[in-house]
């Protein structure tokens, strides 16, 4: 069913608000292209996102290969990317491939330096460790959504810890703190920072509004004025198959991904895979496919070599029309071109043509 339905029709069927938004965006921009923005600096990332933004519907990142990533939640790289996403109308997909026990992935998703959940609409997971971690990530996302309307207040106060354990000099806060860290700073403190110690109190009452999917339309105007604001939701793709040579993911593993997706329709948007995995009743899910490259212009019949490090490539036509996936993910094919912007447009056209071809148009 998936193969003959338009993205507009699937926008109606999708259960996840972000998937519905994405399908509509695809129709509006006539694009089923994702740029894999594997550049090495934060400055380069923002520059390419701004230039290629009009041609793509998803921008995929690997934040951990980027130097100079600014972790400030309000003014840092994530927040700037989110602003570009609103300006051009694309979703940010952090290709983090979470794989660990549920508790650990929750912390990796929401905390630490990068706070991926704040700026990435979409992330992904390898479910080798078992599908409970999908529930763990879903719970973290639900909690995030509940909190994003809080007011931002980050303050550091130095106060004194009284004998009875109460702290004098706590920063005023009229919203419930997400975190309050009380650290002893005085040299005379006892080992546990108790009793008469001088302490430093950091109260964090975080808002995700600024770096989240939605926000105020104070950015430069989009070239696509019809674009609505993305819903304030977070979504997950399951890494069901990989493009690389000798990939060890079995059919059983891939099938387990499909089942995990069905169990979490409110959080799982679909798959990173090499082919459509849906059965007839599941065309609500979306498929994104890396390992995509076009032969250079004028050499259309030439086979496309891998990268010598295990990556294998297919054309948009083969992936979208042949294998039934929806979005092609292209990195070096665009990034290493002499003119990445016109190359992005060439990929957009090809991938869209492959989609129309699949519909028989």
The residues annotated as belonging to the active site are: 95, 97, 100
Q: Which of 5, 157, 200, 311: binder of ligand BMP (CB under 6 A)?
A: 311
Of 7, 10, 17, nearest in space to 91 by CA: 17
* Closest CB to ligand BMP among residues 229, 305: 305
Q: Which of 286, 329, 344, 354: binder of ligand BMP (CB under 6 A)?
A: 329
Could you say whether residue 212 binds ligand BMP (CB under 6 A)? no
In a 13 Å sphere around the CA of 1, the CA atoms on its Cβ side amount to: 12
Chain residue whose CB lies nearest ligand BMP: 331
CB of 320 to ligand BMP, least distance (A): 15
With contacts defined by CB under 6 A, name the span among 128-136, 179-187, 217-225, 323-331 that binds ligand BMP. 323-331
Secondary structure of residue 175 in the 3-state scheme: coil
Q: Which of 102, 235, 331, 340: binder of ligand BMP (CB under 6 A)?
A: 331
Cβ atoms of 344 and 57 closer than 8 Å: no
Residues 249 to 278: which contact ligand BMP by CB under 6 A?
272
Instruction: Give the per-residue contact string, 290-309, with ligand BMP (x = CB under 6 A; - = no).
Output: xx------------------
CA 85 to chain CA centroid, nearest Å: 11
Distances (CA, A) of 151 to 86, 175, 204: 21, 7, 10
13, two tokens: 């069927």
DSSP state of 187: T
Q: Is 60 annotated as a binding residue?
A: yes
Instruction: Give the per-residue contact string, 124-153, with ligand BMP (x = CB under 6 A; - = no).
Output: ------------------------------
Cβ atoms of 67 and 41 closer than 8 Å: yes
With contacts defined by CB under 6 A, name the span among 236-244, 250-258, 295-303, 339-347 that binds ligand BMP. 236-244
Of 83, 37, 77, nearest in space to 229 by CA: 83
Cβ atoms of 294 and 333 closer than 8 Å: yes
- ∠ CA 40-44-48, nearest 5°, is 120
255: Cβ contacts below 8 Å, ≥ 6 apart:
none
Residue count at the site for ligand BMP (CB under 6 A)? 16
Q: Is 357 annotated as a binding residue?
A: no
Distances (CA, A) of 165 to 184, 244, 269: 13, 57, 47
* Closest CB to ligand BMP among residues 31, 205: 31
Please give the biggest Cα pair distance in the chain. Answer: 80
The strand pair at 91-98 and 122-125 is best described as parallel
Could you say whether residue 95 binds ligand BMP (CB under 6 A)? yes
* Closest CB to ligand BMP among residues 2, 61: 61
With contacts defined by CB under 6 A, name the span among 17-25, 224-232, 325-333, 342-350 that binds ligand BMP. 325-333
Burial of 149 (0-12, 13-18, 19+ CB in 10 A): exposed
Q: Which of 243, 278, 314, 325: binder of ligand BMP (CB under 6 A)?
A: 243
Could you say whether residue 53 binds ligand BMP (CB under 6 A)? no
* Closest CB to ligand BMP among residues 38, 345: 38
* Closest CB to ligand BMP among residues 119, 144: 119
Cβ atoms of 199 and 167 closer than 8 Å: yes
Backbone angles phi, psi at 230, to 5 degrees: -65, 145
CB of 330 to ligand BMP, least distance (A): 5
- Binding residues, as ranges, are 38, 60, 243, 311, 331-332
- Binding residues for substrate, as ranges, are 38, 60, 243, 311, 331-332
Q: Which residues of this protein are in contact with ligand BMP, per CB under 6 A?
A: 36, 38, 62, 95, 242-244, 272, 290-291, 311, 329-333
């Amino acid at each position: 069913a998936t193969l003959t339905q338009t993205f507009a029709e699937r926008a109606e069927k999708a259960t996840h608000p972000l998937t519905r938004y994405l399908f509509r965006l695809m129709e509006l921009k006539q694009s089923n292209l994702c740029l894999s923005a594997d550049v090495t600096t934060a400055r380069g990332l923002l520059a390419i996102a701004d230039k290629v933004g009009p041609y793509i519907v998803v921008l995929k990142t690997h934040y951990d290969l980027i130097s100079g990533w600014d972790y400030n939640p309000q003014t840092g790289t994530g927040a700037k990317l989110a602003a570009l996403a609103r300006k051009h109308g694309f979703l940010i997909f952090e290709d983090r491939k979470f794989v660990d026990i549920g508790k650990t992935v929750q912390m990796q998703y929401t905390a630490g330096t990068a706070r991926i959940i704040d700026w990435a609409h979409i992330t992904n997971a390898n479910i080798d460790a078992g599908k409970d971690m999908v529930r763990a990530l879903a719970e973290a996302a639900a909690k995030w959504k509940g909190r994003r309307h809080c007011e931002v207040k980050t303050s550091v106060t130095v106060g004194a810890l009284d004998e009875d354990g109460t702290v004098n000099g706590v920063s005023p806060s009229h919203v419930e703190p997400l975190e309050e860290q009380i650290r002893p700073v005085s040299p005379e403190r006892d080992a546990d920072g108790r009793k008469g110690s001088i302490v430093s109190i950091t109260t964090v009452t975080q808002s995700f509004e600024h770096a989240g999917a939605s926000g105020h339309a104070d950015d430069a105007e989009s070239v696509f004025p019809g674009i609505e604001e993305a819903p304030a939701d977070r979504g997950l793709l399951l890494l069901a198959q990989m493009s690389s040579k000798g990939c060890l993911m079995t059919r059983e593993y891939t099938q387990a991904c499909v089942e995990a997706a069905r169990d979490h329709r409110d959080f799982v948007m679909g798959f990173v895979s090499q082919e459509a995995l849906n059965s007839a009743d599941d065309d609500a899910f979306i498929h994104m496919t890396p390992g995509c490259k076009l032969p250079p212009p004028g050499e259309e019949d030439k086979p496309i070599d891998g990268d010598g490090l295990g990556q294998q490539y297919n054309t948009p036509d083969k992936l979208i029309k042949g294998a039934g996936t929806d979005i092609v993910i292209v990195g070096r094919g665009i990034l290493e071109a002499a003119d990445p912007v016109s190359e992005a447009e060439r990929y957009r056209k090809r991938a869209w043509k492959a989609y129309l071809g699949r519909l028989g148009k």
